[in-house]
A = this chain, B = another copy of it.
Amino acid sequence: MAEKLTPRAEDFSKWYTEIVQRAELADYSPVRGSMVIRPYGYALWENVQAGLDRRFKATGHQNAYFPLLIPMSFLQKEKEHVEGFSPELAVVTHAGGEKLDEPLVVRPTSETIIGYMYAQWVKSYRDLPILINCWNNVVRWELRTRLFLRTSEFLWQEGHTAHATREEAEAETLRMLDVYTDFATADAAVPVIPGRKSESEKFAGAVRSYSIEAMMGDKKALQSGTSHFLGQNFAKAFDIKYLDANNELQHAWTTSWGVSTRMVGGIIMVHGDDQGLRLPPRLAPIQLVIVPIYKSDAERSKVMAVAESLEKQLAGVVRLKLDTRDETPGFKFNDWEMRGVPVRMEVGPKDVEKGSVVLARRDLPGREGKSFVPQAGVADAVRSLLDSIQSSMLAKATAFRDANIREAANWDEFKAAVEDGFARVRWCGDGQCEAAIKEETKATSRCIPLDQPGGSGPCAHCGKPSAEIAIFAKAY
């Protein structure tokens, strides 16, 4: 614990890796590119899951489970899909002691096997829509991996829906993008820009892809969730057909959308500081830690009695922990700061005398974040403090992001903007123009925001007339 983190300003990437390991969120595994999610990191992921799952169910979706292993021939049925995923596949060639007739791929995503099943289930327009989500693991063999951000295996949810009409499927695609935006903003305190991906950045097999893009602490972008309108591409590849109300056979329209354990990396990089993690209260596995402070055995018994009674009073109100370890208060303060617990409650002999406690906010340094609160009614004080931390974290992250998005009217301004933040620019949408931008600046088109100013103007790179603005940035 004693060791300090590498400051973010010195080496953001090193800071990130240290924080993930020292806060015991995750660890490297002996399998290339795979990681172990440790209990504290997994508890954070469980809270992400709960926040998303609640929203999926509220929008009419149900969970289900489809097989991990997919026949290779399934992937080949959708041309762009197989081209996009081929380089990343892990392939099972032997099973039960024998060579398989047909190799099976470990799912990189499940459009194909789900398409096959939907074709069995859908007969009539009455069977539509199908609104299904899956919580599972996928494998995409990556060369350069990073804990949470890019791993050969990751955990995620993948939603897969089928609809009778194009309009319904398009509405679903945007509805789920909206669900992701709401989750990121309200629960993760991560402000995001929802928008359309460029042609070259879209999902392999999609007609249109959308994403939410967030700005990390180093001003780089992280794609934090995607939602795809698949048109009839997979319905045609897998023969998902239904009889419409006029008794005519039609292909269905499908969508897919996903958020992964990458979101955890985003939360770390948006909120963390040089002391460690800072977790938004809604997702924090531990929202409040009680640290008893004493010097003698006599003090200890008085303090512990109060600390334990506070623990009881607050159990069920907040997720909390009473730290009874045989360590100094200083050690404990550092440890819980590293782990990003939003509120620390200190209980010492003076607090016992006065009938009060100290509440210290993780998101505000030193004295500014401290308050003295009566023990009576402390539950209300903690609850309202957590709410205030949640909104303050979102406000800070939003202010940071907005201060680092620059409008760029010409190429020089563009280059300056993506050197140190996001560029918000008129862009022609052309693939060659996009490739040239990437070549010269390493920045990629993140998204074409849903929120558009209208009007027209010259593309910041090539000068062609452009009706839309786009976000460009260096990205994870």
Contacts and interface: CB of A to CB of B under 8 A. Distances in A.
A352 interface: no
Contacts of A88: 96
Contact of A29 (B39, B67, B94): B67
B90 A92 contact: yes
B96 A141 contact: yes
B62 A42 contact: yes
A445 interface: no
A113 interface: yes
Interface in A100-139: 103-104, 106, 113, 116-117, 120-121, 132, 136-137, 139
A96 B143 contact: yes
A117 B91 CA distance: 25
A46 B31 contact: no
B92 A97 contact: no
Interface of A: 27, 29-31, 34-39, 42-43, 45-46, 62-71, 74, 86-97, 103-104, 106, 113, 116-117, 120-121, 132, 136-137, 139, 141-143, 152-153, 155
B153 A68 contact: yes
19 contacts: A27-B120, A30-B71, A31-B67, A31-B113, A34-B68, A36-B66, A36-B117, A37-B64, A38-B64, A39-B132, A65-B155, A69-B139, A87-B97, A89-B95, A90-B95, A92-B106, A95-B141, A96-B142, A96-B143
Contact of A117 (B27, B70, B117): B27
Given A39-B62, A113-B30, A93 B96 contact: no
A144 to B, nearest CB: 12
Nearest to A142: B96
Contacts of A63: 39, 42-43, 46
Copies of this chain present: 2
Given A27-B117, A90-B104, A137-B137, 8 more contacts: A36-B64, A42-B63, A42-B64, A87-B96, A90-B95, A90-B96, A92-B92, A94-B103
A93 B93 contact: yes
A90 B97 contact: no
A95 B37 CA distance: 22
Contacts of A90: 69, 92, 94-96, 104
Given A71-B30, A95-B89, A96-B141, A62 B43 contact: yes
Contacts of A65: 36-37, 42, 45, 155
Contacts of A86: 97
Nearest to A86: B97
A231 to B, nearest CB: 23
Most buried by B among A38, A62, A68, A143: A68
A181 to B, nearest CB: 25
Most buried by B among A27, A62, A65: A65
A90 B91 CA distance: 10
9 closest Cβ pairs, A-B complex? A96-B141, A39-B62, A34-B67, A37-B65, A90-B95, A91-B94, A95-B141, A93-B93, A31-B67
A94 B96 contact: no
Nearest to A53: B46
B89 A91 contact: no
A175 to B, nearest CB: 19
A106 B69 CA distance: 10
